[in-house]
């Protein structure tokens, strides 16, 4: 799998919000759930899990979008409304960024795919591991290790 060159920068569609990443992703994912289909206006979402210490907003003020609920910490540009990153509830050591916001996303390949139970019939990714829902919590450690060895 190609490696990203650090640091890397990215931004929303209009450029008002910009961010910088200075730590390598610990896992890369595609999610086929119907929520992600709606949020992306596409077949699936893409995520790169970045250690929180390696993620910073360098321009603009992202706002909460998506579900606005207790579980949803979806961050969007206040102007163009691009869905830029997600802070998973109760897991503040990483941030899931949308890799297509990066100025160069060519290194990105999803390592796992989730919610294949809800995927569009034609949708396929090159992910090494597929799950009907989310992977069982206890499998993440092994997935992160395997990803690090492959990356
Ligand atoms: Zn924007
Ligand atoms: Zn999803």
Does residue 3 lie within any of the structural domains?
Answer: no
Across all residues in the chain, what is the average pLDDT? 94
How much is the pLDDT for 71? 72
Burial of 44 (0-12, 13-18, 19+ CB in 10 A): buried
- What's 53's domain CATH number? 3.90.1590.10
- Give the ligand at the shortest distance from the Cα of 16: 1
72 pLDDT above the threshold of 70: no
**Ligand 1 centroid distance, CA of 13 (Å):** 5
- Which CB contacts under 8 angstroms, 24+ apart, belong to 80-83? 80/12, 80/13, 80/14, 80/16, 82/12, 82/13, 82/14, 82/17, 83/39, 83/40, 83/45
Q: How many other CB atoms sit within 10 Å of the CB of residue 89?
A: 11
Our count of domains for the chain comes to 1
The answer to the question of residue 1 being in a domain is no
Instruction: Note the pTM of the prediction, 2 decimals.
Output: 0.94
As residues whose CB is below 5 A from the ion ligand 1, the structure lists 12, 14, 16, 77, 79-80
Rounded distance from Cα 10 to ligand 1 centre (Å): 11
Specify the pLDDT at position 151: 65
**Structure confidence by residue, pLDDT tens digits, 80-118:** 999 999 998 777 889 999 999 999 999 999 999 999 999
Pair of tokens at residue 7? 């640091």
Please state whether 66 falls in left (phi above 0), alpha (psi between -120 and 50) or beta: left
Residue 62 lies in a domain: yes
Parent domain of 85: 8-150
148 pLDDT higher than 70? yes
**β-strand 129-130 against 112-114: which pairing, if any?**
parallel
**The residue to which tokens 């910088």 are assigned:** 20
Decide if 31 is inside a domain.
Answer: yes
CA 61/CA 16 separation, integer angstroms: 8
Distance CA 68, CA 64 (A): 6
Instruction: Report the percent of the chain where pLDDT is more than 90.
Output: 86
Write out the two tokens for 83: 């869905």
């Amino acid at each position: 799998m190609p490696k990203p060159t650090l640091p890397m920068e990215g931004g929303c569609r209009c450029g008002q919000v910009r961010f910088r990443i200075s730590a390598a992703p610990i896992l890369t994912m595609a999610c086929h759930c119907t929520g992600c289909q709606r949020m992306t206006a596409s077949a699936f979402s893409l995520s790169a899990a970045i250690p929180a210490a390696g993620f910073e907003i360098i321009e603009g003020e992202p706002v909460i979008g998506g579900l606005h609920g207790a579980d949803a910490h979806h961050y969007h540009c206040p102007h163009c409304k691009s869905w830029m990153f997600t802070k998973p509830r109760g897991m503040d050591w990483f941030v899931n960024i949308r890799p297509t916001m990066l100025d160069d996303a060519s290194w990105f390949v999803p390592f796992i795919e989730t919610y294949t139970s809800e995927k569009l019939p034609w949708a396929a990714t090159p992910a090494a591991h597929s799950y009907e829902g989310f992977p069982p919590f206890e499998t993440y450690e092994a997935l992160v290790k395997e990803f690090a060895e492959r990356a």
